[in-house]
A and B are shown apart, each in its own frame.
Chain A
Amino acid sequence: MKPFTVAIAALSALALILVGNMPEVGGVALVQAQERAAPVRIDLPPDGSATPVLTIATPRGNVAYSIAQLEALGMYRVRTATFWPGDDGVYEGPLLADVLQHAGLGDAAAVKVTAVDEFSAIMPREDWSRWPVILATRREGRPMTARSKGPLRIIYPRDMSPVLEEPVYRLRWIWLVQRIEQSGRLPAGG
């Protein structure tokens, strides 16, 4: 029957248009953006006090890290946009994945990151295994003060993917990082 054929053809076309609008289809552009915005390995001599600033709680006990110890794990630099005014810029620090690996939490399903002001958020392993998330120790080469969200701050390579622009990631950009521990539960969403 002719009307049926026409109807089916029209519906198929509509379905194709709807599918075509989904973000995954623009894969090529995505890969190019990722390469541009990815953090790069830099050779920066460790510079900072030996005062412990970070405590990582592991099943084998607490491990304390100073800025110098963290920077010795290998420095990366990323230029990225953030969610806050006057905050975009260049950040340096070790990869969160390297830090967790060093502390023995590399295989944890999720970690809970707590700030000086008791704010905390849970990061699933997917975040640091899929993206080169940085535990920044410096901004534009200089150590960060409490007033400029230092001395330790989580930096996502936000420009690598539109996925990282989702609001759910905004809560995971923790500053004034003081403590990291294994978390039994995963964050909701995202």
Chain B
Amino acid sequence: MRSHFGRALRQVPVWLAGLVLMLTAGSIALLSINVAQIETALPVDSLYRQRDVAALLQDIQRLEIELRELRRAPAGTTLDGLSLALDLVILRHGDAGSILAALPVDGAPGFSGRLEASLKALEQALALDAQAIPSLVGHVADVHRLGKDLRVINDALFQISMEQATAQRAALSALQRGISAMVVLLGVFGLALIVLLRRQQAINQAQLAAQEEIRNLAFFDPLTGLPNRRLLIDRLRHTLAIHARQGKNGALLFIDLDNFKNLNDTRGHAHGDELLREVAQRLVRCVRDSDTVARLGGDEFVLMLEDLGASAEEAADNATAAGQKILESLNHSYPLSGGDTHSTPSIGVALFGAAEADSDELLKRADLAMYQAKEAGRNTLRFYDPVLQSIVAGHLALESDLRRSLREGGLALHYQPQVDRAGRVIGAEALTRWQHPERGAVPPAQFIPLAERSGLILPLGRWVLEAACRQLVRWQGEPATAQLTMSVNVSARQFRHPDFVGEVESALRTTGAPASQLKLELTESLLLEDVEEAIVRMELLQRRGVAFSLDDFGTGYSSLAYLKRLPLQQLKIDRSFVRDVLTDPNDAVIARTIIALGQSLGLELMAEGVETVEQRDFLLQHGCDAFQGYLFGRPATELHIGDRDIVRAPA
């Protein structure tokens, strides 16, 4: 019923537009028809006819006057005036004769014949010359009568012209009335059309708004504004397909607030809703923009984290990091209107990558993992996959151990000597060693990535920098070591930290170490991220005297274009090329090329991993400036300057 009415309403503007169009066309047609009628009715012809008759009347009267003059003064008068008057009447009658014959007036045809007869007689009399005057005068009465008759005809013609003009005036005013009416109707219908169109536009907008509202209700949770289950499933399907195709891994985090039902029951639903809104906001802040935070209902939230890594283990570690962040964020107290509230979440994680499970199955797994987290004592995170769970647990334990070791001094620096061409020790590289209380020595390859992921790399890096600087200061006290340089490795995350420059400066200041003897070793990949920013930082420190060395050169995506723009002092030839420099011709070529490149750019060249005298000799021969490796000393807590016999250059 309502839709019928709506359709009819929508038809109205179309009808109105048609009406306006028809009215416009009608007006124009009426106007042109009437103008054509009035044009034909214009009394132009009638006026000319009347003028011709009037002129003839005038000429006849002139002829009559000439004749009367002739009668009054017959002696010695020339006939020139009479002759001209006669010529004029004849001329005029020649033009007006046919008009007179066709006049719609009584007596006109008869008049024309009589005039013609009189004119002929007058002409004959004029031709008689001597006896002319008496016979001419005899025509006065005749001509006078003709004048009177023509006067009557002329009046009748005027009557006809007047009637035509009156009719024309009536036609004009009728036309004016008709057109006025049409214009008024046009205005009224046009206005109605505009009003209706406006109204319909408003209705359309309201409809669009309503559709938007419906869409929101269908895909979003009205309480928190987060995507609902339907939108989550939709996005999850899409993401699963992409991840399976591209070999990426992602994670589904199922989050349930602990004891939320109790809170709702004891403090009321309004309070609970407020908490849910706050939780939603914190969750959104914890993840990247590309991730999805959805609310399934009640106190259940689901996070879909995309693109967490190429391997399941990496994805698990990243998911754990995100989960830890969420745990920490949601554990802060909530300053709600009903008073401060504490709440904790339990998180279940299911990874997705290879096409093994659909979206429903994944949700179920994450849900199950969440219950495991509840059973494990709440306020924690559990993986659905027990293998991953144990790996992640191992990582977490190691991370916590590293944190403790960092705090309690379980880390130490070892120094590996670096020598010049003559075999003299010119400096050392500081290397971090971790002695685990139970596991023994943990290799850097294991704990450095762990520190990078957990963010421990920042305090670790600070500690390394300070310890190395303190060692530099100790070396200052001994003449044998006073000139040595200290090479310190800088991790990517540490270098990109906004206050990296400040940290280096602070380490130098607090320890009093000479900046000119500090050398920071950077990796290629670290520099590639944002070359401009890297150059700015390096130049700031270089101005203080700090030197830079490019580590592992030749293993990354070296770009020669930026190499010349970076304020570097040294290139380090990677140990992988040094190892086989004597046996693999390719490595020999690479080593030689790196040396040639460094020389042409004015950089010092340091080979690392030099283990034999032959390797040293080869590199020496091709122009390498400095060396580091077991041949010259293993990393140790103290630098042994005295062991120089084996490293002395050949004479």
Contacts and interface: CB of A to CB of B under 8 A. Distances in A.
A117 B59 contact: yes
Contacts of B62: 117
A146 B91 CA distance: 8
A170 B48 contact: yes
A167 B44 contact: yes
A85 B13 contact: no
A26 interface: no
Given A116-B84, A117-B59, A7 B24 contact: yes
Contacts, number: 54
Given A14-B25, A84-B95, A85-B98, A147 B90 contact: yes
A84 B13 CA distance: 60
A10 interface: yes
Interface string B1-35: 00000000000011011101100110010001000
Interface string A139-174: 000000111110000000000000000010010000
Contact of A3 (B18, B24, B98): B18
Contacts of A167: 44, 48
Interface residues of B, number: 26
A2 B21 CA distance: 13
A interface residue count range (under 10 / 10 to 19 / 20 to 34 / 35 or more) = 20 to 34
Contact of A10 (B25, B84, B87, B94): B25
A48 to B, nearest CB: 19
Contacts of B44: 167
A6 B48 contact: no
A145 B88 CA distance: 11
Contacts of A146: 84, 87-88, 91
A87 B62 CA distance: 24
A86 B94 contact: yes
A156 to B, nearest CB: 16
Interface residues of B, dominant DSSP: helix
Contact of B21 (A7, A116, A119): A7
A146 B90 CA distance: 10
Contacts of B14: 2-3
A148 B87 CA distance: 9
A116 B83 CA distance: 13
Contacts of B55: 119
Given A6-B17, A167-B48, A11 B24 contact: yes
A167 B14 CA distance: 49
A146 B89 CA distance: 11
B88 A7 contact: no
Interface in A3-19: 3-4, 6-7, 10-11, 14, 18
Contacts of A18: 28, 32
A97 B82 CA distance: 34
7 contacts: A1-B13, A3-B14, A7-B21, A7-B24, A85-B95, A116-B88, A175-B91
Interface of B: 13-14, 16-18, 20-21, 24-25, 28, 32, 44, 48, 55, 59, 62, 84, 87-88, 90-91, 94-95, 98, 193, 197
Interface of A: 1-4, 6-7, 10-11, 14, 18, 84-87, 116-117, 119, 145-149, 167, 170, 175-176
